[in-house]
Chains A and B, each alone.
Chain A
Amino acid sequence: MCLGIPGEVVEIVPEQPDLARVKVSGVRRAINVGLLEERPAPGDWVLIHVGFALSKIDEEEARAALEFLEGIGQSYVDEVDALRQSMIE
Chain B
Amino acid sequence: MKFVDEYRDADKARALAAKIAGLCEPGRQYKFMEVCGGHTHTIYKHGLEDYLPEQVSLVHGPGCPVCVIPMGRVDDAIHIASQPDVIMTSFGDMMRVPGSGGTFFDSNAEGTNIRMVYSPLDSLKIARQNPDKHVVFMAIGFETTAPSTAMTLLRAREEGIENFSVFCNHVTIIPAIKAILDSPDLRLDGFLGPGHVSTVIGCRPYEFIAADYGKPLVVAGFEPLDILQSIYQLLLQLRDGRCEVENQYSRVVPWQGNVVALKAMAETMELRPYFEWRGLGFISHSAMRLRDGFAEFDAERVFSMPGVRVADPKACQCGEVLKGVLKPWECKVFGTACTPETPIGTCMVSPEGACAAYYNFGRFSRQRVKEATGA
Contacts and interface: CB of A to CB of B under 8 A. Distances in A.
Interface of A: 1-4, 32, 34-37, 47, 49-52, 54-55, 57-58, 61, 64-65, 67-68, 71-75, 78, 82-83, 85-89
Contact of A68 (B151, B223, B254): B223
B125 interface: yes
Contacts of B45: 71-72
A37 B262 CA distance: 12
Contacts of A35: 147-148, 151, 258, 260-261, 264
A78 B349 CA distance: 14
Interface residues of B, number: 46
Interface stretch (B36-44, B101-109, B174-182): B36-44
B314 interface: no
B51 to A, nearest CB: 16
B148 A58 contact: no
A74 B260 CA distance: 32
**Best-surrounded residue of B91, B121, B122, B223 (most CB of chain A within 10 A):** B121
Contact of B141 (A2, A51, A78, A89): A2
B252 A72 contact: no
A35 B148 CA distance: 9
Contacts, number: 121
A29 to B, nearest CB: 9
Contacts of B91: 1, 50, 82
Across chains A and B, which 6 residue pairs bring their CB atoms closest together, nearest first? A51-B119, A75-B351, A86-B118, A82-B118, A1-B91, A52-B148
B261 A78 contact: no
17 contacts: A1-B92, A2-B141, A2-B142, A3-B38, A4-B144, A4-B199, A35-B148, A37-B258, A49-B148, A50-B120, A52-B119, A54-B258, A55-B252, A72-B45, A74-B360, A85-B118, A86-B122
A52 B140 CA distance: 15
A39 B37 CA distance: 30
Given A47-B199, A49-B196, A72-B41, A57 B252 contact: yes
Contacts of B140: 1
A65 B221 CA distance: 10
Contacts of A78: 92, 351
Contacts of A65: 222
B263 to A, nearest CB: 10
B125 A88 contact: yes
A67 B45 CA distance: 13
A41 B222 CA distance: 26
B295 to A, nearest CB: 24
B145 A49 contact: yes
Contacts of B222: 65, 68
Given A65-B222, A72-B41, A74-B351, A50 B252 contact: no
Contacts of B360: 73-74
A68 B217 CA distance: 23
Contacts of B93: 1
Contacts of A4: 144, 196, 199
